[in-house]
Amino acid sequence: MPPVIEVRNLHKRYGNNVAVDDVSLTVQEGEIFGILGPNGAGKTTTVECIEGLRVPDRGEIKVLGLDPHRDHAELTRRLGVQLQAGQIQERLEVAEALELYSSFYPNPADWRGLMDGLGLAGKAKTRYAKLSGGQKQRLSIALALVGSPQVAILDELTTGLDPQARRDTWDLIEDVRSRGVTIVLVTHFMEEAERLCDRVALIDAGRVVMVDTPAGLAERARIEQRIQFRPSRQLDDGLLTSLPEVSSVTRRGETVIVSGNSDALNAVTAVLARNQIVAERLRVEQASLEDAFVELTGKRPDATS
């Protein structure tokens, strides 16, 4: 089956500023595909080129076999895009907005169901301008899905939502995917990517660093284990940093955090035993997507540029 989205050697600059240097990626039908990267990495520019909102300087893009720029009108009917603030009329009420946008599409979704699913039923008669930030966000998700798109592109899906609304939105996205919709998700939230995405492209400085499953990325970052404990008495970090199995030792308050390969736990406990130190509140964690992000880009996912 041909990929739903195919991006080859995308390059886009704004004046002298190269926003996207060389991005290639493919998204298969029915996937939830994540795009992760630090601030300014070129994620939004990449998806705006995919949506046909920006014209690439170089490279090729095909979405559902169409050219996003040349076939923009056709693609708009088949692609769901989250509208940004400013693109929705302030005076429209929630139900009016959903009804209006659903009328633009040949086979719209049940907009009342979307309104309920996104917890907006109580706000049906509220004007857009009077909604809270989280409610505006939920309406923008509903509007992205109201046309029953084959592909939905969601940029910063749950930014501004409280934890419960975020989880409800994840459930909704999984439900949408189970109906065969292909989803591209730009996100800063590692937990979101781990929970939802089948594959993730990690983008840094306008280039794709790696594409893999969230677990695959964590593994490829080669941080296999993280060990946390509180030593029962004073511990010289040098005892641990000198171990070949250990790559780093840091401290958070009284807690010692050791990263290392899969033999690190045995090596660390042996050293502690030799020095009559008990590892209290011992916890061993496998590497997360966040660890991989930091390892592969040298930046934190929530850092501002």
The tokens 């969230």 sit on which residue? 214
Q: How far is the CB of 148 from ligand ATP (least distance, A)?
A: 27
Q: Binding to ligand ATP (CB under 6 A): which residues in 3-32?
A: 14, 17, 19
The span from the CA of 247 to the CA of 249, in Å, is: 7
Q: Does 45 bind ligand ATP (CB under 6 A)?
A: yes
The span from the CA of 38 to the CA of 185, in Å, is: 15
Q: How far is the CB of 23 from ligand ATP (least distance, A)?
A: 10
Helices (H), 41-110: 43-51, 72-78, 94-102
Of the residues 5, 27, 36, 37, which one makes contact with ligand ATP according to CB under 6 A:
37
Q: Of the two residues 37 and 117, which places its CB atom closer to ligand ATP in the complex? A: 37
Q: Answer whether 153's CB lies under 8 Å from 82's CB.
A: yes
Q: How many residues bind ligand ATP (CB under 6 A)?
A: 11
Q: In this structure, what token pair is assigned to residue 304?
A: 């501002």
Q: How far is the CB of 215 from ligand ATP (least distance, A)?
A: 23
Torsions phi, psi for 207 (to 5 deg): -130, 150
Q: How far is the CB of 235 from ligand ATP (least distance, A)?
A: 39
Q: Does 39 bind ligand ATP (CB under 6 A)?
A: yes
Torsions phi, psi for 216 (to 5 deg): -65, -40
Q: How far is the CB of 14 from ligand ATP (least distance, A)?
A: 3
Of the residues 5, 10, 23, 42, which one makes contact with ligand ATP according to CB under 6 A:
42
Q: How far is the CB of 208 from ligand ATP (least distance, A)?
A: 12
Q: Find all residues with CB under 8 Å of 244, minimum gap 6, and list them.
A: 267
Q: Of the two residues 264 and 292, which places its CB atom closer to ligand ATP in the complex? A: 292
Amino acid 114 reads: L
> Nearest-CA neighbor of 42 among 24, 26, 30?
24
Chain residues that interact with ligand ATP, rule: CB under 6 A: 14, 17, 19, 37, 39-45
